[in-house]
Structure 1
Amino acid sequence: MIKRYSKSMKKRDILVIAPQPFFIERGTPIAIDLLVRNLDNFGYSIDILAMPIGVSPNYDRIKIHRSLNYLNAKELKPGFTLKKIILEVGMVIKFITLMSKCNYRVVHAVEESIFWALLFRPVYKYLLVYDMDSSLVEQMVNRFRWLKSIENRLESIESYVCLKSDAVIAVCNSLADKAAKAGSKNIHLLTDVANLREQANIECKEDLNEISQNNKIALYVGNLEAYQGVTLLYEAARLLQQDKVEICIIIIGGSESDVQYYQNKVNGDGLKNLKFLGSRPVGMLEHYLMQADILLSPRIEGSNTPMKVFNYMASARPIIATDLNTHSQILNNERALLVPPSSVAFVNGIKKIIENEDYAQRLGSAAKEYVFREHGIDQFRRRLQIAYDTLK
């Protein structure tokens, strides 16, 4: 267990590296915020090294240090981009500056920051925690298909950083298994949590029934990147309209440019049962989920379970999700309707749920009971404390 230092600038316990916009209301930044707030509550002194994008939360003791914004960037899309790589160079420079001023006991490296955090460890001699929120190799190969030819070599590098880290904190079972295969001996499963009540801090009166024109509502919440499978929902909406099924698919989330692209496409194709609302504050999430009849998670790529799924389950609404490991490591056929990753399968799933109210209620109730038993905030805190207690 690491000894807690005083609050002085010279001696700080933990530096958390957040190579994402921070804070914005998106999966990984939300997870980092939850992480640092709980580490702070445990009594550790925390600094965050963040990109120069995002709004600084109102922390009492946690300090945020930002790298320079060489590109004058205002936003950053999920995944690997040239813009992100350039901004991370600035983070490395800021990291060296911080390490020369502060004697951090632990560096908690999120996602790809593990590579350069591992590189500098012999110089600054800190304990290193790898926060494994996703498979970096999987992300890179999915984004840049030409990397497929060297995928095995990239996986060897990913295995090496798992092996050399003092602890690996994996967000899901598949990533924990990957770390174990790499030979890591100190692995901790720290899934996302159901925290609708903690997030519900903004009054919202938007009525989805008005938007759906009083039809049933199938709701998706999340970004509109290709790996999320939104095109699958688009085609499902077209088929549902052809079959005259009285349901409206409502999509919340996405950048302004992505929403505009899909809205233009919807208008051009004459779809009346598909609505793109754009982003809404996380504090309104419970308000929207509770208005839905069905919740959708059509993700088609990735190892980690989408953060949205945990709050979906907490809402006790029936879930339809793709029957892929990204979902099946948390969901099963007692807690959700798992279907093949196709628009036809989603259409059939939607019809099955709206035609069988008892079945829908059983799915929702089982999911809610499970998520609060296994993935509530108390379980998160206990697992995080155990992970940090193992550091020596």
Structure 2
Amino acid sequence: MKIVVQKFGGTSLATPELREKVCETIIAAKEEGYAIVVVVSAMGRVNEPYATDTLINLVKQINENPPKRELDMIMSCGEILSGSLLTSKLIAEEIKSVFFTGEQAGIITDGNYGDAHILYVNPKKIFEYLENDFVVVVAGFQGVTEEGELTTLGRGGSDTTASALGVAINAEVIDIFTDVEGIMTADPRVVENARLLDVITYNEVCQLAREGAKVVHPRAVEIAMQKSIPLRIRSTFTNSLGTMVTHNINEAQTINIMRDRLITGITYTSNISQIRILINDIKDRKEIELKIFKSLALANISVDFISVQPDLIMFTVFKDSLEKALEVLKNLDIYPEIEVDCSKVAIVGAAMTGIPGIMAKIMEALTEEDITLLQSGDSYTNIWCLVKKTDMQKAVKALHNKFQLGNKN
């Protein structure tokens, strides 16, 4: 039995006309001989009646800080609504279909309400229906603890559901349908000549997602990677095959081998503030470093882009954490320099490791556009550049052009 998992995002399910298109996509895959598991998100986006954010706002009108357990209860309703509607539509089209909640699909999680992790999947019930030629529709974003408590999986949870089910049932491929063509070399709203990538590695797409690209959740990619099940990022609205995510770009079929592609894409994260702390007393440096980062951790403040030098500590926090971070530092009698309204631009490419000249090109691109580099850092697949938010779009365009990402190799 060849199985495909198809995940449809909220924008793909928001109207009757769109649900009709989703049904056509499911039926086409069925006609190709696939057994099909469909994972659905809540319909629409914020301010639309059944979107997850709308449901959250509904309960917060009654209680600004509802218990996480009860919040999970209402947040899970959006996927149940969209799954029930889609299943009813398929049955009206004379396609044998059944709808499962996360619990009914056998998705077992830990008890971390609002951001639960999947522990394992028991797909027995899914297989029973697939073997009887049913399309199985599953509510994404939700599961149940071993004690029977309903949980939700956090942002991107429906992607995670699709990958976990794909791994559990040994799917041929996991199709993530969304409102974009696939993964681009840069945000097309910023870079006009951003290009669709035919293929990308698991590691590269994880890095792009973690650094700001929102096409697929990195947790979903990591789960699929465990069993080397290909992911395809596709548009609900076209017949394009989109972007294939796999271990090796040479594994994909009908594509050019991009042997010279050092850089895969450019992405960004905004609304960041840089904090710089001068260390005057070098001999107490280690103690000061420990106090700073331990105090920030205890205050539940996430820090990023950390650079520790003998006489200087630099790191970034998101804008909405800045005031709290400064209060923590003030309690330590530390008064840092601050650079607000920054953006982190990330250059991602699995092939850049050990290749000389990448940073030189980055500096050349930024210098040509008179962009000040506030801070930089790197890993084996990433180089990060911190710039002023006002320079962010210019920096993304400059780097995209410098590495010729708009050109098909």
Q: What range is the shorter-chain TM-score in?
A: 0.3 to 0.5
Higher helix share: 1
**Structure label with greater radius of gyration:** 2
Identify, as 1 or 2, the structure richer in strand.
2
Instruction: Give the alignment's TM-score, normalised by structure 1.
Output: 0.33
TM-score, length of structure 2 as denominator length: 0.32
